[in-house]
Amino acid sequence: MKRVVYLKNDISGKDKFVFKKEYEGFGVYNEMCPTGYFVHNSWFITDGDIRLRIESYNDYCFDEVLDLIDCYNENGEFGIKAFSYFDKECNHIVYYMHPSGSPNLI
**Residue 47: partners with Cβ closer than 8 Å, 6 or more residues away:** 25, 26, 27
Distances (CA, A) of 19 to 38, 44, 47, 79: 12, 9, 13, 24
Prediction pTM value: 0.91
Determine the pLDDT at residue 36: 93
Express each pLDDT in 29-60 by its tens digit.
999 998 999 999 999 999 989 999 999 999 99
Helices (H), 1-106: 62-75
pLDDT of residue 1: 80
Question: What are the structural domain ranges in the chain?
Answer: 4-97
For residue range 69-97, what is the model confidence (pLDDT) as tens digits? Answer: 999 999 999 999 999 988 887 788 999 99
Amino acid at 1: M
Q: Average pLDDT in the 99-105 region?
A: 84
